[in-house]
């Protein structure tokens, strides 16, 4: 039996992805505008005196982590698998969630890129842009905290991928679907842990951390909505990676945990403290 052919064109997929991004951007903009319209006097955004101020060593640490990530990616080899077995839980979740057709897996993979972007965009551009408009120094400090968080998450993710060299779920199909990018590009054994989940949850956790401590959207309700929306998109991103057979369930769980630790625990313990 010939494998099912994917009859959907890349142009159609990316057109749908672009439409989704535009809809989400309009929604975020409308939410921010509505929140600001509800307040008569917008509170000034500022770095609290009790919070630790970024020092040069913070930027040095982020730089060291980034150089370490690049060194691992260039020097390490993952062409041969080390961890190729599945546990019972991963198998059960895979049977329940994975897409049955190449078209379904391809669509899920592209949508996971879109939802990850919908988490990253507010955390990187919207929040820092609002902070910069009110207080440029605040934007620099939040940006530094974000850089350190993403650098830590990326370093852990890259190291784990090359140390464990876990086979992706799609690996079992590589004989019959040898044209799949993960079968031919050398990424077949980089399943653990999920980079999409780690980046999405890092961004979502940063969003929650910042909106919990300062009124970036003007009202408490809007800031809670921003946190909830970000976590929702991060969760959808992780689930879509399972549907696309890019990762096992345990891969996305660990990625989510690392993202939470990098985006919430790291900046909270280093800069903000646990008391509001």
Residue 188, pLDDT score: 87
Residue 81, pLDDT score: 80
Q: Report the interhelical angle of 249-260 vs 220-243 (nearest 10°).
A: 150
Residue 79, pLDDT score: 76
Residue 76, pLDDT score: 83
Tell me which DSSP letter residue 166 carries.
B
> Domains along the chain?
10-34+55-272 (1.20.144)
Residue 96, pLDDT score: 94
**Three-state DSSP string of 189-228:** CCCCCCHHHHHHHHHHHHHHHHHHHCCCCCCHHHHHHHHH
Residue 166, pLDDT score: 93
Residues for the chain: how many in total? Answer: 276
Residue 170, pLDDT score: 87
Residue 247: partners with Cβ closer than 8 Å, 6 or more residues away: 168, 169, 191, 192, 193, 194, 196, 197, 241, 255
What are 111's two structure tokens? 């949508």
pTM of the entire predicted model: 0.83
| pLDDT, one tens digit for every residue, the chain (276 residues) | 444 444 445 455 455 555 555 555 555 555 555 544 444 345 568 999 999 999 999 999 999 999 999 999 998 877 788 888 889 999 999 999 999 898 999 999 999 999 999 999 999 999 999 999 989 999 999 999 999 999 999 999 999 999 999 999 988 777 765 566 777 667 888 999 999 999 999 999 999 999 999 999 999 999 999 999 999 999 999 999 999 999 999 999 999 999 999 999 999 999 999 876
Residue 32, pLDDT score: 52
């Amino acid at each position: 039996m010939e494998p099912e052919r994917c009859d959907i064109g890349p142009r159609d997929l990316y057109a749908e992805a672009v439409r989704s991004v535009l809809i989400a951007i309009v929604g975020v903009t409308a939410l921010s505008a509505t929140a600001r319209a509800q307040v008569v006097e917008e509170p000034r955004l500022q770095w609290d005196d009790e919070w630790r101020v970024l020092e040069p060593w913070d930027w040095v640490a982020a730089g060291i982590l980034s150089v370490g990530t690049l060194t691992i990616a260039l020097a390490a080899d993952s062409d041969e698998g080390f961890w190729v077995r599945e546990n019972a839980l991963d198998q059960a979740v895979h049977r329940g969630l994975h897409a049955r057709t190449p078209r379904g897996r391809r669509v899920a993979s592209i949508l996971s890129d879109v939802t990850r972007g919908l988490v990253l965009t507010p955390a990187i551009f919207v929040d820092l842009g609002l902070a910069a408009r009110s207080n440029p120094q605040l934007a620099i400090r939040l940006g530094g905290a974000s850089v350190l968080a993403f650098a830590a998450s990326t370093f852990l993710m890259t190291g784990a991928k090359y140390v464990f060299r876990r086979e992706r779920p799609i690996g079992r199909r590589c004989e019959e679907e040898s044209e799949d990018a993960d079968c031919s590009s050398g990424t077949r054994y980089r399943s653990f842990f999920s980079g999409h989940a780690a980046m999405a949850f890092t961004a979502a956790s940063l969003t929650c951390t910042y909106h919990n401590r300062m009124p970036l959207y003007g009202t408490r309700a809007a800031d809670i909505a921003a946190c909830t929306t970000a976590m929702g998109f991060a969760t959808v991103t992780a689930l879509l990676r399972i549907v696309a057979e890019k990762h096992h369930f345990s891969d996305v769980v660990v990625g989510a945990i690392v993202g939470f630790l990098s985006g919430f625990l790291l900046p909270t313990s280093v800069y903000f403290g646990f008391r509001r």
